[in-house]
Amino acid sequence: MSPKDPKSAKSPKSPKPPREKVDLDAYAAQMRAAPGVRPDIASVDPAGTPGFDGDKKAARKELRKLRRDLFSFQTRLWAERKRSMLIVLQAMDAGGKDGTIRKVFGAFDPQGTEVTGFGVPTEADLAHDFLWRIHQRTPRDGRIGIFNRSHYEDVLVVRVADLAPESVWRPRYQAIAEWERGLVEEGTTVLKFMLHISREEQQRRFQKRIDRPSKRWKFSEGDLAVRQHWGDYMDAYAEAIERTSTDGAPWYVIPADHKWYRDLAVARIVAGAAEQMHPRYPKRPELAGFVIPD
Ligand code: ADP
């Protein structure tokens, strides 16, 4: 290169440091609730960022990459059409279920995804066993099902608000664990998330809903009553997680006061499970060399 070459005037570019690859399995293992152990939810800092020492910007950057991986996973899962994934989201009100669905699972093709919100059971729901309405919404082969609330309400709100006697809700832990085991055995990967916000963060989010006219519709007076039973809900979550976190269908307690950390954590865990599943495109060797006729 001659000294006049403009390129030589530039200082040599230092090579980009290779991006550190996150060990998704190790991260998920760190976050997973151990089967049969009562989680100490109070000791999980809702504003914490375990396993991540970057800031919001870095989290959003990693999320963008994970979203590409999630999209690729879903395409392969659908092409393969042999297995499915079920993602269960539970949280206190304003805990961020809707935001997680938008920001993380928005990566999926809507055609391969089914989001189901479970509200107050209908008369028909109540005339059946509690899993009846749930089972109808589990994903078919090739698809991803996302539950915005779930059968866990039947051991959470039902327990805390005393909607059924203990003799009814207590046996449900075992029923749930066995039912989920059946799903897993038939080829569904089950991942369950408790988005864990602090009472103070919930207060801030509720206040925002009231202060912003465009968010007011989200506020329900009933949510304030639920808020009064925070401790009872934490106890109910702890027992549900203890009794139903299994190797096949684990629970993850996600610190969720920082939305950017919450999204990153959920995306990492789902992407890790996706890597493990490793669906493949069908090879179709019979098509090799085939030319489309005129
Ligand atoms: P979200 O609050 O998740 O945005 P909704 O406004 O539709 O959705 O509220 C759902 C409501 O339905 C919650 O108050 C929840 O406690 C209630 N719910 C869900 N499942 C059950 C159940 N099995 N029994 C009683 N109430 C339930």
Does residue 154's CB lie within 6 angstroms of at least one atom of ligand 1? Answer: yes
Q: Give the pTM.
A: 0.93
Q: What does the domain layout of the chain look like in residue ranges? A: 26-197+236-281
Q: Whose CA is nearest to atom 5 of ligand 1?
A: 119
Q: Which residues contact 20 (CB under 8 A, 6 or more apart)?
A: none
Tell how far the Cα of 90 is from the centroid of ligand 1, in angstroms: 11
Q: Show pLDDT as tens, one digit a residue, over the chain (294 residues).
A: 444 454 445 556 667 666 678 999 999 999 999 999 999 999 999 999 999 999 999 999 999 999 999 999 999 999 999 999 999 999 999 999 999 999 999 999 999 999 999 999 999 999 999 999 999 999 999 999 999 999 999 999 999 999 999 999 999 999 999 999 999 999 999 999 999 999 999 999 999 999 999 999 999 999 999 999 999 999 999 999 999 999 999 999 999 999 999 999 999 999 999 999 999 999 999 999 999 999
Count of Cβ atoms closer than 10 Å to residue 207 Cβ? 11
- C-alpha dihedral over 178, 175, 77, 270, to 10 degrees? -100
Q: Looking at the domain covering 26-197+236-281, what would its CATH class be?
A: alpha beta
Tell how far the Cα of 157 is from the centroid of ligand 1, in angstroms: 8
Write down the H helix ranges in 123-192. Answer: 123-126, 132-135, 157-160, 166-169, 172-185
